[in-house]
Amino acid sequence: MRDISLTETIAPKPPDVRGSILRTGIYAGALLIIVMWGALVAANRIASLEPYALERNAISYSLFLLFMFIPVARFWNRPLPMFASAVIAWVLFAVAYEAAGMVFFNLYDSLQHGPLLILMEGLFVYGLFAAGSWVMEMVLHARHHTIEPARKRVH
């Protein structure tokens, strides 16, 4: 055991955000994958749900949007962790979408979206949320602190 003198201060370490970024991204990606596979199976393999197609699709869309916003809600005031977590989730989803295209034939033709386009659209949406979060952070910071010049004027 070390001897700590009175002049030495023990500062608490800041929490490690990397673990929560990875964990949130994996969980959100897994939930998106489960919703996608459930919706595809319900639409293509369970014929008894065909009369309820509107309700089935509304439930699938609602769950998908809810789970898509998990990284946004988790890291609302931190744009970089938000985007990193969302990228992890969306890449997992895009890979699963690629695999779903191998199982469900004509998936890309019927949805008119290939895996790369899905990946780009998701990254664009999450990028907008991260940029919006950053801008709101700057606006709130500017409202609460006076803006002073960096140096004084020379006469």
Residues 155, 42: Cα–Cα separation, whole Å = 75
How many Å separate Cα 141 from the centre of its chain? 24
pLDDT for residue 146: 77
pLDDT for residue 151: 73
Residues 152, 137: Cα–Cα separation, whole Å = 27
Domain ranges of the chain: 18-144
Residues 116, 120: Cα–Cα separation, whole Å = 6
pTM value is 0.80
pLDDT for residue 11: 57
**What is the full per-residue pLDDT of the chain (155 aa) written as tens digits?**
555 555 555 656 556 667 899 999 999 999 999 999 999 999 999 999 999 999 999 999 999 999 999 999 999 999 999 999 999 999 999 999 999 999 998 988 888 999 999 999 999 999 999 999 999 999 988 888 877 777 766 76
Q: Which of 152, 36, 54 is nearest to 94 (CA)?
A: 36
Q: Which of 108, 37, 34 is nearest to 46 (CA)?
A: 37
